[in-house]
Structure 1
Amino acid sequence: MRDMKIERDGVTLHARLDGVDDTNAPTLVFANSLGTTLHMWDGIVPLLPDGLRIIRYDKRGHGQSDVPDGPYTMGALVSDAAAVCDAFTVKDALFVGLSVGGMIAQGLAVKRPDLIRAMVLSNTAAKIGNGPMWQDRIDAVLDKGLSSLADVTMQRWFSRDFLMSPQLKHWRDMLTSTPPAGYAGVCAAIAGTDFYTPTSGLRIPTLGIAGSEDGATPPDLVRETVDLIPGSQFSLMRRVGHLPCAEAPDAYAKILIDFIAATGHMTT
């Protein structure tokens, strides 16, 4: 494991490398959701095959990355992801993005096709929500803090079964420890994003993953987005919500491993 600090336009981003520290190794890059840190993937990384180089990072405004003044733009988030990839000399990676991380994946695949040879769009869409909805959330967070949204967010994130689990506290704490300015900044970026046209122009191997109980990006929304890309695949996970990597890490990792094999991303 190796941590790295990456500077871009005066913003310091925190990234972590697991697995093989070799630029020639097959590489996976993970981008997480709004209100989470790179630790969202902690349950997945140990389940992946040996021989992979695994890179994940904290978005601006989250985790150990800087919290610049908002609002943020999706262009800035995509450029941040590109800066992380460039810092690790990434080429032809398999990029796994969940929620806003999946929006970043779409934008990066359009802007920097040299970085991505295949992608997983998990619990995401080309457009999520609408301007007034996001503005209401921004106002609530900046006025009352993230604790005021924590309970309803957990209901969007997780299945009914998981809401009764003792593990829920870990994820609630991750959300409420997010800096309000960082959370609101990324909300603004999501609000301003509509990738339907650029995503429909992509021609790379793509897998969509949805959770049957996802209250943030329902399965039909995920499917609609991946269907924009010819030849894409779609996997529906049952009895999980918006963060299936947290609720069912073994099943989620198997889906990723099957896609890695199907795309020839790793040779044995």
Structure 2
Amino acid sequence: MHIADIGDIKLHYREDGDPDGAPIVFANSLGTDFRLWDKIVPRLPKGLRIIRFDKRGHGLSDCPPGPYSMGMLVRDTERLLDHLKVKDCVFVGLSIGGMIAQGLAVKRLDLVRGLVLSNTAAKIGQPQMWQDRIAAVKENGIEALADATMERWFSRPFRETAELTGWRNMMTRQPEEGYIGCCAAISGTDFYTPTSGLRLPTLGIAGSEDGSTPPDLVRETVGLIPGSKFHLIRRAGHIPCVEQPEEYADALIGFLKEVGHV
């Protein structure tokens, strides 16, 4: 277990692969911890330095009182990468992790040489939707959102498997304060203008059954960045790295090869 003290918060992170290799950093979605990437890491080529972390309010990282801003989450990530002496990484962000990726690339292009924006957008939903979600959690806990969230996260066939129980439990066992804090961060974020100014290799990944960030929304966001590529994974919802890990890893490895990162 590795804990980085980055000043006002301590973040839980994990490193795999070659400590001297080209860095690839993964940022996960709302309501999950870095086990989100467990099916992807073993499929990656040897020679990479693979870094995963729990954002504030999630997993084993600190959970300070909310609300949080996207600026806070970006700053946490920036400080973690500085702490780990990371430069020129490929940054893979899913959902809120993809928003963090966009913000980090805008702020610190020295840290990021390529982006993978998975099941994310420059703006996700409307503020009222997030306020309603926050109110529901305050009144009845994360459990109140769990079933509807699983329908957005996963396709029907996956929801009929025993594995769904683990993902549902992961979500409901996240700290409520951290979940609410990150909902507030998403609610306040609109990256259309800053993301449209980015000029770096970018791959967008979407799931055909995604009920949170539909494929057209992901395509629109990566389309803001000239030269970006887009990959649609069928038979997958909001978390295709769990449902279709082989295709997800293949798309990711292809991008890494294309940009000369492996």
- TM range, normalised to the smaller chain? over 0.9
Q: How far off is 1:10 after superposition?
A: 2.1
Q: CA RMSD in A?
A: 0.7
User: Given residue 229 of structure 2, which amino acid in structure 1 is its aligned partner?
Assistant: Q
Match of residue 119 from structure 1: 115
Match of residue 223 from structure 1: 219
Q: How far off is 1:84 after superposition?
A: 1.4
Match of residue 21 from structure 1: 19
* Residues 159-198 of structure 1: pairs in structure 2 closer than 5 A: 159-198=155-194
Q: Is the 8 A contact 1:210 1:235 kept in 2?
A: yes
Out of 150, 153, 176, the position equivalent to 1:154 is 150
Gaps of 5+ in 1: none
- SS of alignment partner, residue 242 of structure 1: coil
Out of 19, 37, 47, the position equivalent to 1:51 is 47
Out of 55, 59, 65, the position equivalent to 2:61 is 65
Q: Does 1:136 align with 2:110?
A: no
Out of 244, 249, 252, the position equivalent to 1:253 is 249
For residues 114 and 129 of structure 2, what CA distance do their matches in structure 1 show?
A: 32
For residues 8 and 46 of structure 1, what CA distance do their matches in structure 2 show?
A: 28
User: Given residue 213 of structure 1, which amino acid in structure 2 is its aligned partner?
Assistant: E
Q: How far off is 1:119 after superposition?
A: 0.6
For residues 110 and 201 of structure 1, what CA distance do their matches in structure 2 show?
A: 8
- SS of alignment partner, residue 156 of structure 2: coil
- SS of alignment partner, residue 161 of structure 1: helix
Q: Is the 8 A contact 2:6 2:83 kept in 1?
A: no
**Identity of paired residues, percent?**
63
Gaps of 5+ in 2: none
TM-score computed with the length of structure 2 as normaliser: 0.99
Q: How far off is 1:131 after superposition?
A: 0.7
For residues 127 and 9 of structure 1, what CA distance do their matches in structure 2 show?
A: 29
Aligned length: 262
Q: How far off is 1:194 after superposition?
A: 0.2
Q: How far off is 1:165 after superposition?
A: 1.0
